[in-house]
Amino acid sequence: MPSKLEKFADLKTFSNCFDLFFKDLDTLFVNKGNWHAKAFKNNNPIVLELGCGKGEYTIGLAEKTPTKNFIGVDIKGNRIWSGAKQAIENKLSNVAFLRTKIDFTDYCFAENEVSEIWITFPDPQPQKARARQRLTNPIFLNRYKTILKPGGLVHLKTDSTSMYEYTLEVIKENNHALLFSTDNLYQNCPADRQELIAIKTHYEKLFTDKGEDIKYCCFQLN
């Protein structure tokens, strides 16, 4: 297994990897508004996975839906390396990875450039003082709103009851449109949405092996 330094060196050579760091915020990100033309060479819908880790979900979605483009977003380069390498080896041309903070997504994508956002097993930040760090906090949702197409979807999968209930409260308080929710996805998965349980991240496997219920909701920002 390559070292972290070797992985970081690889990322610079991977054609499906991009990055944006704090020092670059004053410079227009090359792919902003140009993801279709520069990264994918098509006009298919763009779907983000925020906090993608090793990219299991990004890769899984891309394999099941070749008519969409998928971008895994994470700040940890040594994690992204795994997904990026797998996508290259499997010749998945509809996959890219972006190494950046989720706080910077509006610097990386133009208005209406994204069709869907997946938030898969994020840190629930259970401490009340860290509520602003939750990826479904209104601060983050407002960032997503600037890049999502009208009617664009936001998906949350989590093992955390507190994160799930917090998100439902945010949706209600801010008049967002809740399309579907369940506190036990594996018992209540819609028949036409089996991909929701067919793809498992590393953490999802750990949680389900322990018998923990997986929560899911899908909503649109007003």
- Say how far apart CA 143 and CA 92 lie, in whole Å: 28
Percent of the chain with pLDDT over 90: 78
Between 200 and 134, residue with greater pLDDT: 134
Across the chain, what does the average pLDDT equal? 94
Segment 172-193 shows an average pLDDT of: 95
The residue extents of the domains of the chain are 4-20+31-220
SS3 158: strand
Give CA separation, 221 vs 51, 112, 136, 172, in Å. 20, 13, 11, 11
| 109 CB burial (10 A radius; 0-12, 13-18, 19+) | buried
φ/ψ of 160, rounded to 5, equals -85, 115
Q: Which of 19, 103, 123, 192 is catalytic?
A: 123
* pLDDT above 90: residue 144: yes
User: Can you give the pLDDT at residue 192?
Assistant: 86
User: Can you give the pLDDT at residue 4?
Assistant: 84
CATH topology assigned to domain 4-20+31-220: Rossmann fold (3.40.50)
CB-based contacts of 117, cutoff 8 Å, min separation 6: 47, 48, 49, 50, 144, 148, 152, 153, 154, 155
Order of all β-strands in the sheet with 46-50:
17-19, 95-99, 69-74, 46-50, 114-120, 148-158, 215-220, 177-182
* pLDDT above 90: residue 140: yes
* pLDDT above 80: residue 1: no
- Say how far apart CA 21 and CA 164 lie, in whole Å: 30
Closest to 48 in 3D by CA, of 143, 119, 100, 101: 119
* pLDDT above 90: residue 107: yes
* pLDDT above 90: residue 203: no
Say what the pTM is.
0.95
User: Can you give the pLDDT at residue 9?
Assistant: 87
Per-residue confidence band for 205, with pLDDT thresholds at 50, 70 and 90: confident
Positions of E strands within the chain: 17-19, 46-50, 69-74, 95-99, 114-120, 148-158, 177-182, 215-220
| 26 CB burial (10 A radius; 0-12, 13-18, 19+) | exposed
In DSSP terms, which residues pair with 82 in a beta bridge?
Answer: none
φ/ψ of 196, rounded to 5, equals -65, -30
Per mean pLDDT, which range of 6-10, 124-128, 136-140 is the poorest? 6-10
* pLDDT above 90: residue 6: no
Active site residue 123: yes
Length of the chain: 222
